Amino acid sequence: MAMLKKFRNLKSVENTGFGTNSNNTGGRFLNKDGKPNAIKRGVALADRYSWYHTMLQMPRGKFLLLLLCIYIFINLLFAGIYYLIGIDHLAGVNTGSSWKNFTEVFFFSAQTFTTVGYGRISPVGFMASAVSTFEAFLGLLSFAIATGLFYGRFARPQIHLRFSKNALISPYKGETALMFRMSPFKNNSLSEAEVQLTLAISTEENGKVVDKFFNLPLEIAKINILAMSWTIVHHINEKSPLYGFTKEDFANTDLELMAFIKAFDDVYSNSVIGRTSYHASEIVYGAKFRLMYHPSEDKRSTILDLDKLNVFDHVPLPASEAAAIAN
């Protein structure tokens, strides 16, 4: 804890949106996907979640599976209602075993829900006609909602960035620097990209543990266009809160590096944002990223190998840094 006393001489920030009392928070502040690591309670479950946001942010596979499950469930529900009314109220059903009768009713429900209406089976009587009318109306509403969700997921502005899994403490210009890198992985065009790096660290102050936040200065904080990989570099010098940290300090200190990225997407004609964080356990001490791009064979293009985004080599740090730590 003695080394952490030096934070008292550095200017911290308090406008991060996170509390400073370490006893009132738990775990990391941001998850790897950039979402705040907070669970909201005190309101009903239905009021706690926005189904629209949930459906837009849901992974593609889960979204399609959920729509399929809802579709099958609704048709099973209406098939059960038709079956209880009686299949004799459905003209054209080829009666047979109970299972065959139910499948006939189920497929009639699916045709009604989708308003296909092949015509072989039709409702007879008030109850069956009323249920089929309501089901057709529900089907129109459901497909309108599903279409809106598909469009929302397709048209929602996204930054389409991938971040390295680890941040590194690397040799840099004869000293050391904290680094991580990012790269666009789709054929989108990002311009005016800028990044802000915030360090959250727990330290003792007046006999209690508090969270301190520091904005880390970057060698390059804004670039005109983000077309290749971009390595974010924070030079660890005397003005850095990480100055003098050893490998053991990174392993034993509760710290988190939060990255906030904003850029302009030419296709969306809108600003897009991205967030991620690196816990102390995800910071590799004494390593350097391997170059992830090279010229094409005809020397007319540059090949960006996205599968090398997380590749690094372990390297020794400069002797000057080791001497600074020892002092």
Q: What domains are there in the chain, each with its CATH number?
A: 3-38+160-326 (2.60.40.1400), 47-155 (1.10.287.70)
Question: Which pLDDT band, with edges at 50, 70 and 90, does 22 fall under?
Answer: low
Average pLDDT over all residues of the chain: 87
pTM: 0.78
Which of 19-23, 97-101, 115-119 is predicted least confidently? 19-23
Closest alpha carbon to 175 in 326, 319, 6: 319
Rg (C-alpha) for the chain, rounded Å, is 29
Position 40 scores a pLDDT of: 78
What is the reported pLDDT for 94? 83
Lowest mean pLDDT among 36-40, 54-58, 89-93, 279-283: 36-40
Average pLDDT on 19-25 reads 62
Q: Among 125, 57, 58, which Cα is nearest to 88's?
A: 125
Residue 5, pLDDT score: 47
Contact 200, 258 (CB under 8 A): yes
Q: What pLDDT, on the 0 to 100 scale, is given for residue 21?
A: 62
Quote the pLDDT of residue 3: 47
Q: pLDDT by residue (tens digit) across 128-148?
A: 999 999 999 999 999 999 999
pLDDT bin (cut points 50, 70, 90) of residue 187 is: confident
Containing 82, the helix (H) or strand (E) segment is helix 60-85
In percent, how much of the chain has pLDDT > 70?
Answer: 88
User: Which residues are CB-contacts of 265 (< 8 A; sequence separation ≥ 6)?
Assistant: 157, 159, 188, 189, 190, 271, 272
Of 258 and 319, the structure prediction assigns the larger pLDDT to 258
> Is the pLDDT assigned to residue 31 strictly greater than 90?
no
Q: How far, in whole angstroms, is CA 160 from its chain's centroid? A: 10
Q: Per-residue pLDDT for 320 more than 80?
A: no
Average pLDDT over residues 213-222: 93
Judge contact between 7 and 199, C-beta under 8 A: no
Q: What pLDDT is attached to residue 41?
A: 80
Higher pLDDT residue, 23 or 323? 23
Q: Do 219 and 235 meet the contact criterion of CB atoms below 8 Å apart? A: yes
d(CA 229, CA 220): 13
- In whole angstroms, what separates CA 207 from the centre of its chain? 37
CB 180 within 8 A of CB 231: yes
Specify whether the CB–CB gap between 180 and 310 falls below 8 A: no
Average pLDDT over residues 50-60: 89
What is residue 231's predicted lDDT score, i.e. its pLDDT?
95
Whether residue 162 is predicted with pLDDT greater than 70 in this model: the reply is yes
Position 10 scores a pLDDT of 63
Residue 315: band (very low, low, confident or very high) from pLDDT cuts 50, 70, 90: very high
